Structures are given as C-alpha cells and as structure tokens.
Amino acid sequence: MAEEKTIEAAIPEADEDVLAFEQQVDIEDHMVLNMGPSHPSTHGVLLIILTLAGEEVIKAEPDLGYLHRGMEKIAEGHGYHKFIPYTDRWDYLAPIANNMTYVTAIERLMGVQAPERAEALRVICWEIGRIQSHLLGLGAFAMDIGALTIFLWTFRERELLYDLIERLCGARFTTSYARIGGVDRDPPADWLRDLKAFCTEFPDRIDEYELLLTRNRIWVDRNQGVGVISREDALAYGLTGPILRGSGVEYDLRKEEPYAGYEKYEFDVPIGKHGDCYDRYLCRVEEMRQSAKIILQAIEGLPEGPVILDDYKSSIPEKQGVLTGMEQLIHQFIVITEGPKAAKGGEYYFRAENPKGTLGIYAVGDGTNHPQRLRIRGPSFMNLSILPKLLPGHMLADVVAILGSFDFVMGEADR
Amino acid sequence: MDFWIDDIGWPFIKIFIIANVALMMVALLVWAERRVAALIQDRLGPNRVGPLGLLQPVADVIKLFLKEDLTPGHVNRPFFIIAPALTMMPAIISLAVIPFGASLIIADLDIGILFIFAISSLAVYGITIGGWASNSKYSLLGGIRSTAQMISYEICLGLSVIGVFMLSKSLRLQDVVLMQGDGIWLFGEHYTGIMGKILDWNIFKQPIGFILFMIAGFAETNRTPFDLAEAEQELAAGFHTEFSSMKFALYFLGEYAAMISIGAITVTLYLGGWTFFGLENLGGSFSWLTQILIFAVKLLALQFFFIWVRWTIPRFRYDQLMRLGWQVLLPIGLANILLTGVLKLIFKV
C-alpha cells in the first residue's frame, strides 16, 4: 500500500519538472542533435532528439514508432494460434520467452491448463530467453562504452544457446515453440544433458565477463552515479525488470505472482542500491546466474508425461495420432485451419517477468477463433518513458551508457 | 662530388629505406590489429588473402581505391580535401629524426625531440579541420573533443620525457639511444654486468615517466581508451563520418602511422632504440640490417601492447579524460622531474 501512495505523489511532481525544464531552455541557443533512428548505439530505430549545450544534454525527446508493425491489429485478424509466430518479433532478442508469455495468456483466457511437463519446459524456455537477452544486453552495453571484446565473448555463449534452441524447435531465431495447451514437441534426445552442461559451465563464463568489467576503473567511472533513477521515479514511470530492481525495488513477478510453477524453484532476485547504470549492470549479471540455477533445477525435476494438452478442442493432436487416427486427423484439421475459440466476453490479463521487464497480454475473446482485442504491454516501451526526465544534465557519452544499461529492444517498444 | 654523395645521395637512400619500412609497418599493423583483435575475441580474423591473411591490407587498399570518392555538397571543399593529408603527414615526418640504426637516421638533429613535438602537434589540425569542414554535427563534436584532448595530453607528453633528457644530458635522440644499455652508473661506479646493462634502459631508470609517456601516447594517437574523437558508438565515427574512399583511408592509415611514430619514439627513448646489448653489431658491414630488425621487433612488441589495450578496456568520458590529464598526469609529470633531479644527485648517475 505504501508503494501506491508514492506513485500518486510522484506523478504530478515529475510532470512539473519536465514543464519547468522546457520553459528554462531556450532552444535557439543550442545545438539540436538527432540521435537515431539509425545510430550505432540506439539499439535499433530509436530516435532521440537531443538539445545540447556543448556536450551536455539539456533536453531529450525520444521519438518512437519507426518499427511499428501494428501487432495488436494483426492479432485481431489472425486466429489465436496463427498469431504465435508474430510473438517472435516483439522482443526479438528473446523470442522463445515471448512465445511462452503469449500462449500462457491465451490459455488462461480459454480456461485450459498445460500439462506439468510443458510448464516445466516453459520455465526452461523463459530462462533461456532471459540469458539470451541479458547476454546481448551486456555485450551491447559494454560495446557502447567502448569495450568491444565483451560483445564477441557474449556472442560465443549466445551461439551455444542458439544451437540448443535450433535442436529444440528447428529454428534459431524465430522459434514459435509454444502451442496453446503446451509446447510444440518434446526436447530431442540428449538435449537436456547438453543444456545442463551449458548451465553448469555458464557461471564460469560470467566470471570471465566480470573479470573484464566489474572492477575495471574506467567501467566503474563511466557507470557509477550515471543515470540514477530513484525508487519513487522508477515506480511512478512504471519501469519494470532489471531497471526497476536496479533502483532498489524488490519486484519480480516470478516471486510476486508465480506462474508456470515458478514457486517450486529456488532463486534470488538481485536488487540494486543506487539505481545507476552500474547497479543495473550488476543486476543483469546476477540474474543470468540465477537463470542458470533455475534451468538446472527445472531439468532436475522435469516431470514425465505429455508436453501438450490432451484436449483436441484447444490443442493440436499429437503428430503420430494425426497420421494414424481419424479423430485426431479431423481435429488437427479444425485446429490448424480454424483454430481454438475463446468464450464471448471472456477477458484475461496475464503478465510475466520477461527479460526486459513485465510483458503483459490483455486478451478479450468474442466467441470466435480470434481475439476481439489484444493489448500488448511491452516493457521496453514503458522503460523508455523515463528518458526525457533522466537524460538532461548528462553528457553525450552518458546518454550512450544509459541507453546501453536500459537494454531495450525497439521491436517490443514499437510493436 | 662528396657533396652529392653525402648530402644528396645517402639521405635519399635513407629516406627511401625508412619511409618504405615505415609504410610496410603500417600495412603490417593493420593486419596485426585485426588478427590480434580476433585472437582476443576468440575468432579467426582475416586469413584468406595470402598466407595467414598477410595480403589483407593490400586488398583493403585496393578496395578503398576503387570506392567512389564522395564529397558531400555541404562540406567546405578545400579544407575537406586537405584535412586527411594533414593527419598522415606529421606522423611520417616525425620519423625523420628517429634513429633506426647507427647510421640510419635521416636528420640527426641536435633538438630531435623538440622537432618531434613540434611536428606531432600538427596532427590535431587534420582532425579538427576535418571535423569542422565536414559541416556535420557529429563530426564537429569529434573535432572539438580531439582538440581539447590533444592540447591537454601534449603537455603531459612533453613533461614525461624531461626526465630522460636530464639523464642523457642531450636532446639528440642518437645520444639517448647510445647512453642506454652500456651499463648503469651508481655512486660513481660503472656496472657493466648484464643486469647493469638491462637496468640502464630508461624504462627502468624512468618508470613513472615511461608510464606517463605511454598514457599520453595513447591519447595522442586517439587510441582506446582515448578514442573519443571517433567514438563509434557515440558519434558514429566522429570526425571522419563524412569521408570516403582514399580520404577515409588516409585517416585510417594516419592513425596507424601515428601509432608507429609514437611507438618508435618510445622505443628510442625508453627501450634502448636499435641496440640490444651488443647484438646490434652482428653482421659486419650489414649490421644496419640487424639494427633495423632489432628496432622493428621492439616496435612490434610495443604495437602489440597498443592493440591489446584497445581490445580490452572501455573508453573514457570527455570530462574524465580532461580530469585525468590535468589533475592526475600533469602533477605526476612535474613530480617526476623533481624526483629525477633528487635521485640523480643521490645516486650520482
């Protein structure tokens, strides 16, 4: 309850600040620099219109929408099932995690529950997505600050993960591994063993990255005290994920409202103290270790059984059954062409702790095979909202550091 | 007749040899940078053109020659054209006073080091003018950064070498080389054992000065962690954003030529130049070849260090760089001069 009060108190204050700033600044006297939409460190197509006094930023206006593809509208025209491949393209650095979040939301809308083995596999996928995303986030962050080697080192591990994903679902990048009522298929032989080997090895690799960065004087100087977000601001602007936790708010949906059996796993939620770029970096690094820990636990306790629901009204029947049985063949035809239906008037808001923060899916069913409305709450979009308040007062080089520490992805912000 | 041989003939031959060696080194360095970066980053690097990819720089240059030389409409043409040359030139000119061997020196000036400082300060004009003439905001920021940085670090560079000249009692670079490696003088005694000879190198007699010189050298050559002028991720290549084809290549090669020239000065001042404890006399009348080889090996070892640093550590921020230059390096440089004077009196070196 205390947190809600702070939110109400902080919002008007923040707006006044921005207004006051705009009045102070006389734009005529300063240089206006368009940073983006194609700039090496805006991670895609973010445009920030910076007003500079020398190297100091006095005003920053983010301009979004260059990667807008109308995802929410597309969802209204497609069936629930056919929309799954589109989820790969939101946060394209962790497509497999998006699949899981979307499908869980649709399952809850339809009132079905995936079997236990599928749930455990989903947890594994969510955490693989987190490691994938944080690896690239860390690499790009370090590269923005000038440490180019880290970027290629993190790609070494990302490559191993992509190989594993390819073996799991046939595609490296556009995974579409989730299905309504479960997942596409059981992992191939030896896959779990190799994933386990990766996760056992991985903490050592993180140590390597940390050796180059964590106590590096230049890295510390560039990040400590830069881009400080107070606890109140972080809550007021609706920031989520490592950015929120870096500001000292202990908020992780995996702990707050566990889904897919997250309550069964033992892991810590790293919390920062100062809310600066350095704390955000430390949070991400620690989250990768915790993710590896969760995957190991999930592999250890992976239950036997089917990976997709045995309910032909909502889920695709097993392939072997489709090839031999009449009933399965008919249902497969119906599910693929028409797709499962959600009840009229039914609505559900599901949110999950995705790598970049809270990914929320709000779906409204109208009795047909496609949603009447599908709202996607992308964490990157919300996280970027604090830039106009955060950037002024920093140097141009800090802008790059702050953007790197935010680890946003425009596919998700613009959708 | 002697005039033609001594004052025209020999210098031309020397210039030919040294300029070619230097330019070959530049090409080699471009290759080495990419291969060492690949080694550090756990990948292969260019290995297709020629043995070990050694001909890669040749292929690169041919490619750059064939690129369209685009001059954007909004630039200040005369300055835009002259700027890349201004970067390349000082780096090569300053090689004129570097002794590559006992007789392999183009101009044995009495004030060798002052000549180098005078010339190398000009390099900043290439970058500043290039950034300004491009008429682009990112380039302008790069040019401004570079100017401020060069001015700050030029002072540090000058202060750090004073200790060396206090010890050698001469500004002539050949004297500095000959003074090193023949045994250290302590309390009026001349130690000519192998340890005495090794410790006679200025890197051991002037460790603080050496470190300062290296740091300032990194800043002078615009290398990471001081590559703010071109900071790819901040300024999108900074001062050379607008340059293409051979103009870009001149900037690119100019950076490596500057590395060679700073490296050559470091080898001369601190690492015993072309000498190596008597090895330099090997080969009789062809000993100049041995000497130039010794020099090249030392230089390459130093360049490896330059490359190693670039691919290991991040970049400074503008204000941190200025603070380091003025508030840390400058006082240390001054203190080093004082310390050198005191120690010189105590140890009677």
Point out the least confidently predicted range of A11-15, A364-368, B65-69, B312-316: A11-15
CB contact under 8 A, B225 and A153: no
CB contact under 8 A, B317 and A395: yes
Cα distance from A270 to chain B (closest Cα, Å)? 25
For A248-305, write each residue's pLDDT tens digit: 888 888 888 888 888 888 888 999 888 889 999 999 999 999 999 999 999 988 888 8
Residues of A in contact with B318 (CB under 8 A): 55, 395-397
Q: Is B5 exposed, middle or buried (0-12, 13-18, 19+ CB in 10 A)?
A: exposed
CB contact under 8 A, A218 and B314: yes
For B161-184, write each residue's pLDDT tens digit: 888 888 888 888 888 888 887 777
pLDDT higher than 50, residue A11: no
Coil, helix or strand at residue A133: helix
State the pLDDT confidence band at A22, using cuts at 50, 70 and 90.
low
Angular region, A43: left φ>0, alpha ψ -120 to 50, beta rest = left
Predicted local confidence at residue A295, as pLDDT: 92
How many Å apart are CA A194 and CA A185, to the nearest integer?
Answer: 17
Average pLDDT, chain A: 85
How many Å apart are CA A65 and CA B23, to the nearest integer?
Answer: 49
The answer to whether B326 faces chain A, any CB pair under 8 Å, is no
A-B contacts at Cβ under 8 angstroms:
81
Angstrom distances, CA of residue A222 to CA of A184, A214, A404: 44, 12, 12
For A308-367, write each residue's pLDDT tens digit: 888 877 888 888 888 888 888 888 888 888 878 777 778 889 999 999 989 999 998 888
Instruction: Give strand pairing partners of B186.
Output: B189
Is there a contact between B98 and B296 (Cβ–Cβ < 8 Å)? no
Q: Which residue of B has its CA nearest to A220?
A: B314
The answer to whether B323 faces chain A, any CB pair under 8 Å, is no
Residues of A in contact with B141 (CB under 8 A): 55, 396
Residues of A in contact with B236 (CB under 8 A): 39-40
Closest to B303 (Cα-Cα) out of B266, B272, B253: B266
Backbone angles phi, psi at B180, to 5 degrees: -85, 150
Residues of B in contact with A140 (CB under 8 A): none
Predicted local confidence at residue B71, as pLDDT: 81
Picking from B37, B141, B232, the nearest residue to A40 by CB comes out as: B232
Domains: count for chain B:
1
Predicted local confidence at residue A287, as pLDDT: 92
Coil, helix or strand at residue B192: coil
The radius of gyration computed from the CA coordinates of chain A, to the nearest angstrom, equals 22
Tokens 């089917």 sit on residue: A306
Picking from A149, A156, A213, the nearest residue to B311 by CB comes out as: A149
Is there a contact between B330 and B156 (Cβ–Cβ < 8 Å)? yes
pLDDT higher than 70, residue B92: yes
Predicted local confidence at residue B232, as pLDDT: 67
ipTM, 2 dp: 0.81
Closest to B90 (Cα-Cα) out of B122, B117, B114: B122
Closest to A280 (Cα-Cα) out of A320, A240, A317: A240
State the pLDDT confidence band at A10, using cuts at 50, 70 and 90.
very low
Predicted local confidence at residue A23, as pLDDT: 54
Mean pLDDT value of segment A158-162:
91
Angstrom distances, CA of residue B277 to CA of B177, B272, B297: 12, 9, 15
Predicted local confidence at residue A1, as pLDDT: 40
Cα-based angle A31, A32, A37 (whole degrees, multiple of 5): 145
CB contact under 8 A, A40 and B227: no
The token pair that represents A311 in the structure block: 């309910």
Question: In degrees to the nearest 10, what's the CA dihedral of A236, A237, A239, A245?
Answer: -40
Q: Mutate which of B230, B234, B318 to disrupt the A interface (most A C-beta within 10 Å)?
A: B234
Residues of B in contact with A213 (CB under 8 A): 314
For B64-79, write each residue's pLDDT tens digit: 888 888 888 888 888 8
The answer to whether B308 faces chain A, any CB pair under 8 Å, is no
For A87-133, write each residue's pLDDT tens digit: 988 888 889 999 999 999 988 888 888 888 899 999 999 999 999 99
Q: What percent of chain B has pLDDT over 70?
A: 97
Mean pLDDT value of segment B308-325:
86
pLDDT higher than 60, residue A14: no
For A203-247, write each residue's pLDDT tens digit: 999 998 898 888 888 899 889 888 899 888 889 998 998 999 989
pLDDT higher than 50, residue A4: no
Residues of A in contact with B40 (CB under 8 A): 149
For B8-19, write each residue's pLDDT tens digit: 777 788 788 778
Mean pLDDT value of segment A61-83:
87
Q: What percent of chain A has pLDDT over 90?
A: 20
For A192-209, write each residue's pLDDT tens digit: 999 999 999 999 999 988
CB contact under 8 A, A221 and B42: no
Omega before A379 within 30 of 0, i.e. cis: no
Q: Mutate which of B223, B232, B313, B321 to disrupt the A interface (most A C-beta within 10 Å)?
A: B313
Predicted local confidence at residue A25, as pLDDT: 53
For B22-47, write each residue's pLDDT tens digit: 788 888 888 888 888 888 888 888 88
Average pLDDT, chain B: 82
Q: Mutate which of A42, A49, A152 to disrupt the B interface (most B C-beta within 10 Å)?
A: A152
Picking from A142, A156, A398, the nearest residue to B314 by CB comes out as: A142
Residues of A in contact with B315 (CB under 8 A): 145-146, 218, 222, 397
Structural domain for B144, as ranges = 2-347
CB contact under 8 A, A40 and B311: no
Picking from B41, B312, B318, the nearest residue to A395 by CB comes out as: B318
How many Å apart are CA B316 and CA B231, to the nearest integer?
Answer: 10
Contacts of residue A126, defined as CB under 8 A and 6 or more positions apart, other chains included, come to: A96, A97, A100, A101, A260, A352, A353, A354
User: Which domains, ranges and CATH numbers included, belong to chain A?
Assistant: 71-414 (1.10.645.10)
How many Å apart are CA A156 and CA A237, to the nearest integer?
Answer: 35
CB contact under 8 A, B314 and A400: no
The answer to whether B327 faces chain A, any CB pair under 8 Å, is no
H or E stretch at A351: strand A344-354
Predicted local confidence at residue A2, as pLDDT: 43
For B93-143, write each residue's pLDDT tens digit: 888 888 887 777 777 778 878 888 888 888 888 888 888 888 888 888 888
How many Å apart are CA B75 and CA B49, to the nearest integer?
Answer: 36
Buried b (16+ CB within 10 A) or exposed e, B185-214: eeeeeeeeeeebbbbbbbbebbeebbebbb
Residue B127: HSE in the Cβ half-sphere, 13 Å Cα cutoff = 32
Residues of A in contact with B42 (CB under 8 A): 152-153, 156
Question: In degrees to the nearest 10, what's the CA dihedral of B201, B202, B205, B208?
Answer: -140
CB contact under 8 A, A218 and B232: no
Which has the higher per-residue pLDDT, A162 or B137? A162
Cα distance from A256 to chain B (closest Cα, Å)? 37
pLDDT higher than 80, residue B84: yes
Picking from A143, A148, A397, the nearest residue to B318 by CB comes out as: A397
Picking from A33, A218, A400, the nearest residue to B233 by CB comes out as: A400
Picking from A143, A153, A221, the nearest residue to B233 by CB comes out as: A143
